[in-house]
Structures are given as C-alpha cells and as structure tokens.
Amino acid sequence: MSRVLLFVFSASAAVAGEVPPDAMALKHLVHQDCGSCHGMTLKGGLGPDIRAESLQHYDPETLGQVIQDGIPGTAMPPWQPLLTQTEINWVVDYLLTGEE
C-alpha cells in the first residue's frame, strides 16, 4: 500500500518537475528537422505529407509511437533519443491540430 502511494507520489513529482516543452524550439524542429525530409511546409518530400489533414487516420498514441520509434526499414528515424515524451506529445498535438 505505502509502496503504491510512494510510486504515485514520485511519478507525479517527476511530471511536476519536468521542464515544460519549449514551443518555439519544437516548432523550429518540426519545420527544419522533420521538414528536411517532409518539406518545410510538411507537404511532403522524401517523406510523405504530414500536414494535419493527412494524419487524421492516426490516433495520438499511434502517431507518438511513429515519431518515437521511426519506421524501421525506411528513412524515417526514431526521435526518442532526441526528444522527451513530453516533447513528442507536443509535436503530436501540433501535427494533428495543424496549428501555426
């Protein structure tokens, strides 16, 4: 029982202690780094169109997995080494809403 409470406490402390995602830096990353393959406007290039209207078949979890793990056997790299879970979640939200 106390173990469970300790776990819940430390998990929420970790979340509370985490630096909020830097929206400017992540927007830059999406357009520059993702854009180097998917096009600066994300309309597609080496990689496919990843504008919001093209990603509607994804639920956020699946899209997060694709960004996190990449697509093995293709040029789509895993981003997990470079982005935290919070940052990946931000990018997923940004891509799915297409907000500028």
Q: Which two tokens stand for residue 37?
A: 């393959």
- Among the listed residues 2, 4, 56, 74, the single contact to ligand HEC using CB under 6 A: 74
User: Per CB under 6 A, does 66 bind ligand HEC?
Assistant: yes
Specify the long-range contacts of residues 44-51, CB closer than 8 Å, at least 24 apart: 46/75, 47/75, 47/76, 50/95, 51/95, 51/98
Q: Whole-number minimum distance, CB 22 to ligand HEC, in Å?
A: 14
Q: Whole-number minimum distance, CB 7 to ligand HEC, in Å?
A: 31
- Among the listed residues 75, 81, 97, 100, the single contact to ligand HEC using CB under 6 A: 75
Ramachandran class of 59: left when φ > 0, alpha when ψ lies in -120 to 50, beta otherwise: beta
Measuring CA to CA, how many Å separate 79 from each of 19, 88, 89, 91? Answer: 18, 8, 12, 11
User: By C-beta, is 12 or 41 nearer to ligand HEC?
Assistant: 41
Residues 9-48 that bind ligand HEC (CB under 6 A): 33-34, 36-38, 46-48
By CB under 6 A, name the binding residues for ligand HEC: 33-34, 36-38, 46-48, 50, 63, 66-67, 71, 74-77, 79, 91
